Chain A
Amino acid sequence: MTTPVLADLTVGQEIGSRTVDVDRARLVRYAGASGDFNPIHWNERFATEVGLPGVIAHGMLTMGLAVTVVGEWAGDPGRVVDYQTRFARPVVVPDPGVATVEVTGVVGAIDAEAGTVRVDLTVTFEGARVLAKAQALVRL
């Protein structure tokens, strides 16, 4: 594992990116792993009955997928000391098919005294942001 050097970083610098194809199988797998069995994440009939456009991904799944970019960059995911987001738009997962989620991280702020870097994540689906103010604070 290599750790980025704080003094070498500049605000705005890209730290990594990733594209993840989310299908229904991934939603079922996440439901089981997380214990979140809300039927809006696996039952089309239920999802449309409550006014959703279809089965949607767990916001927490998207949040979990996105932070992998930060952990890979930091070398050690245990360096993530704070991670937050607002859920701005749902990721609608078709069947058959996939919902393609794109993640890009940039250096948002550097606190040399605290030894921390804020990584700002842009997470999009069909060209629109699904996470808002997605920020991870990393101690280097």
Chain B
Amino acid sequence: MAINASYAGRQYAATAPYLVGREKIREFAAATAATQPVHHDLVAARAAGYPDLVATPTFAVIIAQAAEAQLVEDPEAGIDFSRVVHADERFTFTRPIVAGDEISTVLHVDAITERAGLAMVTTRCELFGDAALTDHVATVRSTLAVRGEDA
């Protein structure tokens, strides 16, 4: 099935809030060999001026990929995940994510382009610390490359 280019420009309703947990911050930090105390030790995080444990910079991908599933797992979008390669990723922070944050995410499909049997799907997730979407936390941009069936 071909990719559905008409999804370009689409904006989704905000996701249900993702509650950032201390143990998830610790688990993700350990998985990426991030040993700095602000990810693991509450006393160290508070001494550094944070209200709670600080997530590593790429922790936001957990929240973003869950939001991107609205597009990727939509059969009408025509994205065959077995043909997907992650092409690029970018995180831009208004502030670090900390434990206790309840992150609501708005997914945008910024572009879908096709060239020589390769479709590039560029998404943007806007992460907010409140359901009213006023406390902007981070922007996560991601491009997936989807090989065509002949490629």
Contacts and interface: CB of A to CB of B under 8 A. Distances in A.
Nearest to A1: B48
Interface residues of A, number: 34
SS class, residues of chain B in contact with chain A: mixed
A135 to B, nearest CB: 9
Interface in A60-101: 60-61, 63-65, 67-68, 71-72, 76-78, 80-87
- List 8 tightest A-B contacts by C-beta distance, closest first: A64-B32, A84-B90, A33-B31, A78-B96, A64-B58, A86-B88, A33-B28, A59-B86
Interface string B75-86: 000000111011
B-side interface size class:
35 or more
A84 B65 contact: no
Interface in A20-73: 20, 26, 29-30, 32-36, 38, 50, 59-61, 63-65, 67-68, 71-72
B93 A77 contact: no
18 contacts: A30-B31, A32-B31, A33-B24, A33-B62, A34-B61, A35-B66, A50-B83, A60-B89, A68-B33, A71-B56, A77-B39, A81-B93, A82-B90, A84-B91, A85-B88, A85-B89, A87-B88, A87-B89
B62 A35 contact: yes
Nearest to B142: A60
B86 A83 contact: no
